[in-house]
């Protein structure tokens, strides 16, 4: 079993269970791990307090909420000063279409995961939002044809 500094086997098992189903009750977790409900409650509180659990969310079926098109866009900026990078980050996170933004090593500076209704909505986003940001040299986008695996749980 993997060890993570500051966590014991029970903490790791709690995290594994919650990553798969965050709606599990303390009672259900206590039953699965053969621990008291109070122990589980205290451990989950501590895991949240220490930042191991950042937030608990519901994962939606994007096709049912009209977000069928996923694009990954690589963005290259024309400058790499701290201010240029910070300014881009501060502006791009305001766009609800941008689901994730990563600063990268390599040829491009940022990788964005973008969710829109369809190609027309992406085109509108591209022309009227993303391409209007300052200091962009180029944007290269790739569109998801199918999704073979989409997991949110980290292996522990």
Q: Is the per-residue pLDDT at 121 higher than 80? A: yes
Bridge partners of 76, per DSSP, are 138
Q: Which fold has domain 63-143?
A: Alpha-Beta Plaits (3.30.70)
Tokens of 88: 């881009």
Specify the pLDDT at position 56.
94
Domain covering 1-59 assigned CATH 1.10.10.10 in the classification: yes
- pLDDT (0 to 100) of residue 3: 67
Q: Do the strands 69-77 and 98-103 form a parallel or antiparallel pair, or are they unpaired?
A: unpaired
Sign of CA dihedral 12, 13, 18, 19: positive
DSSP track, the chain: ----TT--HHHHHHHHHHHH-TT--HHHHHHHHT--HHHHHHHHHHHHHTTSS----PPP-GGGGT--EEEEEEEEES---HHHHHHHHHHHTT-TTEEEEEE-SSS-SEEEEEEESSHHHHHHHHHHTGGGSTTEEEEEEEE-S--S----PPP-
Strands 136-143 and 69-77 turn out to be antiparallel
Cβ atoms within 10 Å, residue 115: 21
118 versus 3: which is more confidently predicted? 118
pLDDT band at 4 (very low <50, low <70, confident <90, very high): confident
- Name which of 65-74, 106-115, 119-128, 147-156 the model is least confident about: 147-156
Percent above pLDDT 90 for the chain: 96
Q: What is the pLDDT of residues 37-66, one digit of tens each?
A: 999 999 999 999 999 999 999 999 999 999
Same fold yes or no, 1-59 and 63-143:
no
Question: Average pLDDT for residues 95-113, to the nearest whole number?
Answer: 97
With bands split at pLDDT 50, 70 and 90, how would you rate the model's confidence at 2?
low
When pLDDT is averaged across residues 27-31 and rounded to a whole number, the result is 98
Q: Model's pTM, two decimal places?
A: 0.88
- Domain segments of the chain: what residues? 1-59, 63-143
Residue 111 has pLDDT above 90, yes or no: yes
């Amino acid at each position: 079993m993997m060890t993570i500094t500051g966590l014991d086997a029970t903490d790791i098992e709690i995290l594994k269970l919650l990553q798969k189903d965050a709606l599990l009750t303390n009672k259900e977790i206590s039953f699965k791990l053969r621990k008291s409900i109070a122990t589980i409650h205290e451990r989950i509180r501590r895991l949240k307090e220490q930042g191991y659990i950042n937030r608990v969310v519901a994962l939606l079926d994007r096709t049912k909420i009209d977000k069928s098109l996923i694009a990954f866009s690589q963005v290259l900026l024309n400058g790499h000063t701290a201010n240029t990078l910070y300014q881009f980050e501060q502006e791009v996170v305001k766009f609800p279409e941008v689901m994730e933004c990563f600063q990268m090593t390599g040829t491009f500076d940022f990788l964005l995961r973008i969710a829109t209704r369809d190609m027309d909505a992406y085109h509108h986003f591209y022309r009227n939002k993303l391409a209007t940001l300052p200091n962009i040299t180029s944007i290269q986008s790739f569109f998801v044809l199918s999704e073979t695996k989409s997991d949110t749980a980290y292996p522990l």
